[in-house]
Structure 1
Amino acid sequence: MRDLRLTAGRARLPALLLCAGLVLAGPVAGQDEARLVVSNETGEPLVTLPMAEGEGWCLEWNHSVEGFAVLDCYRHSDGRMVLERSHLPDFAAGLDHVPGRGRQVSDGEGGYWIEDLDEPVPGNAYRLRVGGPAVDHRLVVDDERISLSRLAADQPVTVRLVSPE
């Protein structure tokens, strides 16, 4: 009777060599492109998303008094994190347009967008104290929503655009 463990081990050897060759041949996937990284206070990544030049994302949260969703939308532009626009569904506490900072445009539903902000974020990063479940801070990329509140409620995080080296 043949030793099946030895046969199985020999069958895996080419696959292992192929994997080792791929690792040695080039960079790990994703290291040659920019990434959006949300990390906790100790620097541990909680979320890492590829973010190619020209792509964008939003930070969405529920207003602490009114409960409706507010959006700040960013774009990867020439290696920089740039605040592009914000959506405010109401003129609730703390939500008003500052003249000279972008332009206010109706959203057609009683709220408004502040367009053309085009403000580079210093150091391509900002700190955020993530709200609890009622606030539910979340990243929005295309149609995907990632709840930061599920990952780090009531904790500080850093949202950073990391460019390839």
Structure 2
Amino acid sequence: MGDHRFFRGRCAALWLFFSLNLASASTGFAGQLTISDASNGAALASTEVAQGAGWCILWNHSVQGFEVEDCYENRDGVMVLVRSHLPDFAAGLDHIPGRGRQVSDGMGGYWIEDLDEPVPGNAYILRPGGPAVNHRLRTEAIEISLTQLAERARVRIALQPDIAP
């Protein structure tokens, strides 16, 4: 059963990788957001991210089950953490004074705005949780389940600036 799930996940990853890259091959863009296997560098998915455009990493809180999100932006080829949404002050979730500013979301939770933190090396490692947590990456155009691609494996999320010819 485990081998079947691994094979199915890899087939889905390959389909996603090629379909996203073919769709973006004819357009200009300022960067490529890639998701790869951190252990061997194998590409799992990739999508273009225009200058000034953003994406979010979302997941369901492992205890409370509500959705949490960290949002990034491509600023001149640099991956910048812009804001986070925390629906509650649950375990592991809190605002650190001096790091952005906390504002109400109007529904009992809060946003941490104005984080504006460049991500060192334009990349970081994430270990997607199981189906209940369901880590995913969302842009304006697509949503990719990192859990389906690489459940409990280490993945590298990186922004690679477009190199002009």
For 1:5, the equivalent position in structure 2 comes to none
SS of residue paired to 1:43 = coil
For 1:49, the equivalent position in structure 2 comes to 47
Give CA deviations for 1:47-102 in whole Å, capped at 9, x if unaligned. 10001110000000001111100000000001100000000000001101000000
Give CA deviations for 1:5-59 in whole Å, capped at 9, x if unaligned. xxxxxxxxxxxxxxxxxxxxxxx64686410000012111111000111000000
Determine the C-alpha separation between the residues in 1 that align with 2:55 and 2:94.
22
Deviation at 1:137, TM superposition (A): 0.3
Structure 1 residues 31 and 144: CA distance shift in structure 2, 3 A:
closer
- Partner amino acid, structure 2, of 1:148: L
The 5-angstrom pairing of residues 118-129 of structure 1 reads 118-129=116-127
The answer on whether the counterparts of 2:30 and 2:76 sit within 8 Å (CA) in structure 1 is: no
For 2:18, the equivalent position in structure 1 comes to none
Question: Mean alpha-carbon deviation: is it higher for 32-41 or for 97-106?
Answer: 32-41
For 1:70, the equivalent position in structure 2 comes to 68
Structure 1 residues 143 and 67: CA distance shift in structure 2, 3 A:
farther
- Partner amino acid, structure 2, of 1:126: Y
CA RMSD of aligned residues (A): 1.5
Q: How many residues align?
A: 138
Larger radius of gyration: 1
Structure 1 residues 47 and 30: CA distance shift in structure 2, 3 A:
farther
Deviation at 1:144, TM superposition (A): 3.0
The 5-angstrom pairing of residues 79-158 of structure 1 reads 79-142=77-140, 144-158=142-156
Determine the C-alpha separation between the residues in 1 that align with 2:57 and 2:146.
10
2:31 paired with 1:34:
yes
For 1:6, the equivalent position in structure 2 comes to none
The answer on whether the counterparts of 1:30 and 1:50 sit within 8 Å (CA) in structure 2 is: no
Question: Mean alpha-carbon deviation: is it higher for 111-120 or for 30-39?
Answer: 30-39
Flag structure 1 segments of 5+ consecutive residues without an equivalent: 1-27
The answer on whether the counterparts of 1:38 and 1:47 sit within 8 Å (CA) in structure 2 is: yes
Identity of counterpart residues, as a percentage?
Answer: 59
Deviation at 1:135, TM superposition (A): 0.7
Determine the C-alpha separation between the residues in 2 that align with 1:118 and 1:65.
28
Structure 1 residues 31 and 43: CA distance shift in structure 2, 3 A:
farther
Deviation at 1:120, TM superposition (A): 0.1
Flag structure 2 segments of 5+ consecutive residues without an equivalent: 1-24
